[in-house]
Amino acid sequence: MSFYDEVQEAAAYCRALIKEEPRIGIILGSGLGALAEEMEETAAVPYAEIPHFPVSTVAGHAGRLLFGRFRGRRVVMMEGRPHYYEGHPMKRLGLPMYLMKFLGVKTLVITNACGAINRDFSPGTLMILEDFINFVSVNPLTGENDERLGPRFPDMSEPYSFRLIERAERIADELGIGYAKGIYAGFWGPYFETRSEIRALGILGADAVGMSTVPETIAANHAGLECFAVGCITNMATGIRKEKHSHQEVLEIADRASAELRRWICEFVARTDD
């Protein structure tokens, strides 16, 4: 069975369980699951039950697709995400984005928890992603391309839509929500980066670092989805902070910052075409 056929089988399975097809996709990062509480008329589908879907095993990731209404819009929400460091093939990490494409999604909103390299940031800062740097040696497009999924050489000059970034800034200003903008570095994980790695990433222009988002962004652009992404700074990166890192701390900071992010994303989705 081809990868395309696997995507179609996953889409057919989900389509049989939902009342209406989504137009907006949302990916929830570590500790940001509170957004799921805004969903209405929800159908919950565990990742493990969807054919060929990669399953998340990380604490803070519920591991299911939620279909329903979110601020009046037709939405599918990934309540948690799989990661490359969990052992999934990189191409498999792109499957959720292609699934969304064939279910009817046009706009993808990505959230994540990440560590700050930029010293002007602090834990709790919400950062709009303007661009990314991929520090993983492979990506979801490696290998034979199927034109039914997307072009062989997708343009990546605007991985995060300028139009959506402008809308998000306008909404944040109206709501009085503080934010920063920056470049996200995608790292392998699952270990927290060394001092030397963080220093190198900073020299190369990264403002924040995390272990997700980049594969999703690449696959989403390949699939023709318009993307917007925002990261929650949960800690200062190694070498900037003196304390040791812990995943529990990441979850706790993300949970505290989620109230502002929740308000922001709710209004953003409400103003997005369904």
Catalytic residues: 30, 61, 83, 85-86, 113, 211-212, 235, 247
Q: Which two tokens stand for residue 241?
A: 């902070």
What's the distance, Cα to Cα, between the start and end of the chain in Å? 33
| Nearest-angstrom CA–CA distance, 228 and 207 | 17
Phi, psi of 116 (to 5 degrees): -85, 130
| Nearest-angstrom CA–CA distance, 124 and 232 | 6
| Nearest-angstrom CA–CA distance, 40 and 72 | 9
Strand partners, 108: 25, 227
| Nearest-angstrom CA–CA distance, 20 and 4 | 22
Cβ pair 272, 73 in contact under 8 A = yes
Measured CA distances, 93 to 53, 54, 84, 192, 248 (Å): 8, 7, 7, 21, 24
Which residue from 181, 89, 210 is spatially nearest to 139, judged by alpha carbons?
A: 89
Phi, psi of 261 (to 5 degrees): -60, -40
Beta pairing class for 208-210 and 24-28: unpaired
Bond preceding residue 190 cis, omega within 30 of 0: yes
Beta pairing class for 64-70 and 39-46: antiparallel
